[in-house]
């Protein structure tokens, strides 16, 4: 192998940096004895920063072109760079939010940081996957880390139970996904999406039985994606895991992995199986409508905030699917950039909102006084007006109220759906958003109009508070000036 070939692998520099950093972190943490894990924490943030810069370097060096390395297993395009940058920012924010919470509960172990970085590595691999193999590898790396993270608080029965459920269901889902992949591999004889794309088109056109085999495999692949996204009926793990895991871990699960799931859906369906768009779009319609309906309706009945946000995740992922399913209209990909761009925008904004909402919960929680039931939000405005205002921003954004970013995200998706001619879907989406607005606004009502219940605990401060403010105001700013992010998302989709 020549030097040039060797150097070409540097397009995976962010992954390499992260792998080396995570390994080093494991050793660094062994040396650290302090309770606050200051050294390990700073080291982890440093690794994230370097990896971020490495991504920027690769991005600037690629000059907008697409490259395949590792024999086509790994693709490096604008989409992957943008999503990776999002992922780095998200995980870095997760670290900032989670640190004081974990420290107070004695859960701030080196393992949390290491597992988080390895999970991120899994996310990166999924984002850049161009083959069933690398996709599956990344997926397993991510989920295995997440199982362990959920069980991190091993003395808590709820956590271990949640981890067990997550593990069993996750294993089942990954089995389903593998089964679907094997079917498609059997039909096309290739693992690379770049080969599968044209292959499936030819096969599907040649014979109807071949097409049926492919669609049969597709059902399982879509099931795997739906599990990762948490779309109904593959959503059952979400409420239990969100609820059972400690809030810091819920924050991890609820944010960056959504980017990976989005990338997975995009790579598998749009990159790999565009010829079957008609089929998977129909499946996604069912998933999307069920998710929006069930997510929003079930959230109303919840008394636990984390559970409520879990159902809200389900409904939001359903909404995001609306964008994914309106890209191809009658074999015409004219709407693709708008629709997938809207879905990507939605995912990015959702991750931001989710970060903020769980961040507020983390900040408002104190040792012995978890903030996770609805009643805990009562009178928040009187205890901590700024935190209450930030939560209000998050809730408004989640509910899709202008001028928050959540509104524009919903608007973009709905307009893509309308352009695709699926008017009834758009109507359903709006109707379910309306139902959803109820439980978000209930939180606002509790914060502002109810008397505080129980003892007033001062909320935490420090860097987490600053970052949370930036997070909330960023949502406002993105709602007012969405065009920059939207243009970025659309450019990323064009590179697909």
Partner 1 sequence: MKTLYLLVPLAPLAGAILAGLFGRALGRAGAHTVTILGVLVSFLASCWIFADVLEGNTFNGTVYTWLTSGGVTLEIGFLIDRLSALMMVVVTFVSLMVHVYTIGYMAEDPGYQRFFSYISLFTFSMLMLVMANNFLQLFFGWEAVGLVSYLLIGFWYTRPTAIHANLKAFLVNRVGDFGFILGIALVLAYFGSLDYAQVFAEAPALAAPVTLICLALFVGAMGKSAQFPLHVWLPDSMEGPTPISALIHAATMVTAGIFMVARMAPLYELSATARSVVLVIGGITALFMGLVALTQYDIKRVVAYSTLSQLGYMTVALGASAYSAAIFHLMTHAFFKAVLFLGAGSVIIALHHEQDMRRMGGLKAAMPVTYWTFLLGAISSAGIPGFAGFFSKDAIIEAARHATIPGAGFAYLCVLACVFVTAAYTFRMVFMAFHGAPRYDAHRPPHESPAVVTVPLVLLAIPSVLAGWLVGRFLPVDSAWDFVVHGLVSLPFWLALAGIAAAAILYRRPSSLPKRIAMRLGPLYAVVERKYGFDELYAWLFGAGARVLGTGLWKAGDQTFIDGLMVNGSARVVGWFSGIVRLAQTGILNTYAFLMLFGILAGVTWVIWRFWS
Partner 2 sequence: MLAEYFPILLFILVGLAIGVAPMLLGRLLGPNRPDPEKLSPYECGFEAFEDARMKFDVRYYLVAILFILFDLEIAFLFPWAVALNDIGMAGFLAMMLFLGILVVGFAYEWAKGALEWE
* Binding residues vs partner 2 (CB under 8 A): 1, 6, 19, 23, 26-27, 30, 209-210, 212-213, 216
| Interface with partner 1 (CB under 8 A), residue from 34, 206, 207, 212 | 212
> 284, 351, 341: which is closest to 483 by C-alpha?
341
- Residue 210 contact partner, candidates partner 1, partner 2, none, CB within 5 to 8 A by sort of partner: partner 2
Alpha-carbon gap, residue 226 to 376, rounded angstroms:
32
CA dist 326 → 168, 260, 442 (Å): 33, 20, 32
- Using an 8 Å Cβ cutoff, are 195 and 132 in contact? no
CA dist 339 → 123, 201, 283, 414, 492 (Å): 23, 22, 17, 9, 12
| Interface with partner 1 (CB under 8 A), residue from 16, 50, 85, 172 | 172
Asked if 239 interacts with partner 1 (CB under 8 A), we say: yes
Q: Among residues 209 and 483, whose Cβ is nearest to partner 2?
A: 209
- Residue 496 contact partner, candidates partner 1, partner 2, none, CB within 5 to 8 A by sort of partner: none
- Using an 8 Å Cβ cutoff, are 44 and 117 in contact? yes
Asked if 278 interacts with partner 1 (CB under 8 A), we say: no
Tokens representing 170? 């996750």
- Residue 6 contact partner, candidates partner 1, partner 2, none, CB within 5 to 8 A by sort of partner: partner 2
Q: Which helix (H) or strand (E) holds 431?
A: helix 423-449
Asked if 372 interacts with partner 1 (CB under 8 A), we say: no
Asked if 300 interacts with partner 1 (CB under 8 A), we say: yes
Q: At 47, is the secondary structure helix, strand, or coil?
A: helix
Tell whether the torsion through CA atoms of 68, 1, 139 and 177 is positive or negative.
positive
Cis before residue 329, ω within 30 degrees of 0? no
With b for 16 or more beta-carbon neighbours within 10 A and e for fewer, the 129-156 pattern comes to bbbbebbbbbbbbbbbbbbbbbbbbeeb
| Interface with partner 1 (CB under 8 A), residue from 68, 97, 193, 234 | 234
Asked if 240 interacts with partner 1 (CB under 8 A), we say: yes
Tokens representing 74? 């790994």
What is the DSSP annotation of 137-198?
Answer: HHHHHHHHHHHHHHTTSTT-HHHHHHHHHHHHHHHHHHHHHHHHHHHHHHHH---BHHHHHH
How far apart are CB 270 and partner 2 at their closest, in Å? 26
Q: Among residues 5 and 208, whose Cβ is nearest to partner 1?
A: 208
Asked if 176 interacts with partner 1 (CB under 8 A), we say: yes
Looking at residue 267, what DSSP letter applies?
A: I
Applying the rule CB under 8 A, the residues between 137 and 166 that interact with partner 1 are: 164-165
- Residue 435 contact partner, candidates partner 1, partner 2, none, CB within 5 to 8 A by sort of partner: partner 1
- Residue 201 contact partner, candidates partner 2, partner 1, none, CB within 5 to 8 A by sort of partner: none
Asked if 132 interacts with partner 1 (CB under 8 A), we say: no
How far apart are CB 70 and partner 2 at their closest, in Å? 11
How far apart are CB 253 and partner 1 at their closest, in Å? 16
User: Which residues on adjacent β-strands are paired with residue 366?
Assistant: 369
Stretch that binds partner 1, among 221-229, 351-359, 367-375, 445-453 (CB under 8 A): 221-229
Q: Among residues 23 and 301, whose Cβ is nearest to partner 2?
A: 23
Applying CB under 8 A, which residues contact partner 1? 164-165, 168-169, 172-173, 176, 208-209, 212, 215-216, 219-220, 222-223, 226-227, 233-234, 236-237, 239-240, 283, 294, 297-302, 408, 411, 415, 419, 435, 438, 481-483, 486
């Amino acid at each position: 192998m020549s030097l040039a070939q060797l150097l070409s692998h540097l397009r995976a520099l962010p992954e390499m940096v992260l792998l080396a950093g995570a390994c080093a972190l494991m050793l660094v943490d062994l040396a650290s004895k302090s309770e606050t894990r200051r050294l390990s924490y700073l080291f982890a943030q440093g690794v994230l920063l370097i990896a971020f810069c490495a991504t920027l370097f690769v991005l600037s060096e690629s000059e907008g072109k697409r490259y395949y390395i590792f024999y086509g297993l790994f693709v490096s395009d604008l989409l992957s760079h943008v999503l990776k940058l999002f992922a780095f920012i998200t995980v870095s924010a997760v670290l900032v939010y989670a640190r004081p919470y974990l420290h107070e509960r004695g859960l701030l172990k080196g393992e949390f940081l290491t597992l988080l970085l390895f999970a991120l590595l899994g996310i990166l691999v999924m984002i850049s996957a161009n083959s069933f193999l690398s996709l599956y590898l990344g997926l397993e790396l991510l989920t295995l880390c997440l199982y362990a993270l959920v069980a991190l608080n091993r003395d808590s029965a709820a956590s271990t139970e949640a981890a067990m459920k997550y593990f069993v269901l996750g294993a089942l889902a990954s089995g389903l996904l593998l089964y679907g992949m094997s079917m498609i591999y059997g039909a096309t004889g290739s693992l690379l999406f770049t080969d599968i794309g044209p292959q499936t088109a030819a096969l599907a056109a040649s014979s109807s039985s071949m097409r049926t085999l492919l669609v049969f495999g597709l059902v399982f692949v879509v099931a795997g994606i739906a599990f990762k996204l948490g779309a109904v009926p593959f959503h059952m793990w979400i409420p239990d895991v969100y609820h059972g895991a400690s809030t810091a871990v819920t924050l991890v699960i609820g944010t960056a992995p959504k980017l990976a799931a989005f990338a997975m859906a995009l790579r598998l369906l749009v990159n790999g199986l565009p010829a079957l768009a008609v089929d998977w779009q129909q499946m996604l319609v069912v998933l999307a409508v069920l998710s929006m309906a069930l997510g929003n309706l079930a959230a109303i009945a919840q008394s636990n905030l984390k559970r409520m946000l879990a159902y809200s995740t389900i409904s939001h992922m359903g909404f995001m699917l609306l964008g994914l399913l309106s890209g191809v209209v009658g074999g015409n990909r004219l709407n693709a950039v708008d629709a997938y761009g809207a879905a990507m925008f939605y995912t990015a904004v959702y991750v931001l909102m989710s970060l903020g909402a769980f961040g507020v919960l983390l900040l408002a929680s104190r040792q012995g006084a978890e903030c996770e039931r609805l009643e805990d939000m009562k009178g928040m405005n009187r205890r901590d007006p700024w935190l209450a205002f930030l939560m209000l921003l998050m809730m408004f954004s989640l509910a899709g109220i202008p001028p928050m970013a959540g509104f524009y995200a919903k608007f973009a998706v709905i307009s893509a759906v309308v352009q695709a001619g699926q008017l009834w879907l758009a109507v359903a989406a709006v109707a379910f958003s309306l139902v959803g607005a109820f439980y978000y606004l209930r939180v606002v009502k509790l914060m502002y109009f109810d008397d505080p219940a129980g003892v007033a605990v001062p909320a935490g401060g420090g860097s987490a508070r600053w970052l949370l403010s930036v997070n909330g105001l960023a949502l406002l700013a993105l709602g007012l000036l969405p065009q920059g992010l939207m243009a970025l998302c659309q450019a990323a989709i064009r590179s697909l």
